């Protein structure tokens, strides 16, 4: 196997993947919680936002 010199893009690609996945998951969690979870208190508090943002509400 020939050793491939690590490029700048290659080096940053490795250090981007996990942080990006983590941030993406947190972002999704925020949207899921405010937009889709049906727990009553959450639903009532976010009611108008869910309608106005086009999430399925009730």
Partner 1 sequence: MTPPMTCVTRPASPATDMFSRILTSGLIAGAATGLIAALLQLWFVQPVLLHAELYESGQLAHFGAEAVSAHQDLGPFEWTRNMLSVLFTMMVYAGYGLMLVALMALSEAQGNAVTARQGLLWGLAGYLTMQLAPAFGLAPEVPGVAAADVQLRAIWWLGTAAATGLALWLVAFGKGWAAWGVAIVLILAPHVIGAPQPDSYAGPVPPELSAEFAGRALGAGAMAWALLGLLAGWFWQRESQRAPVPQAA
Interface contacts to partner 1, rule CB under 8 A: 5-9, 11-13, 15-24, 26-31, 33-36, 38, 45-46, 48-49, 51-58
Least separation, in Å, of the C-beta of 1 and partner 1? 17
Least separation, in Å, of the C-beta of 40 and partner 1? 13
Least separation, in Å, of the C-beta of 41 and partner 1? 11
Print the SS3 string covering 1-58: CCCCCCCHHHHHHHHHHHHHHHHHHHHHHHHHHHHCCCCHHHHHHHHHHHHHHCCCCC
């Amino acid at each position: 196997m020939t050793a491939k010199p690590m490029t700048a893009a290659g080096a940053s690609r490795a250090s981007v993947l996990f942080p990006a996945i983590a941030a993406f998951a947190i972002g999704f969690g925020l949207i899921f919680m405010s937009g889709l979870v049906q727990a009553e208190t959450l639903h009532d508090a976010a009611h108008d936002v869910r309608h106005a943002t086009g999430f399925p509400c009730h």
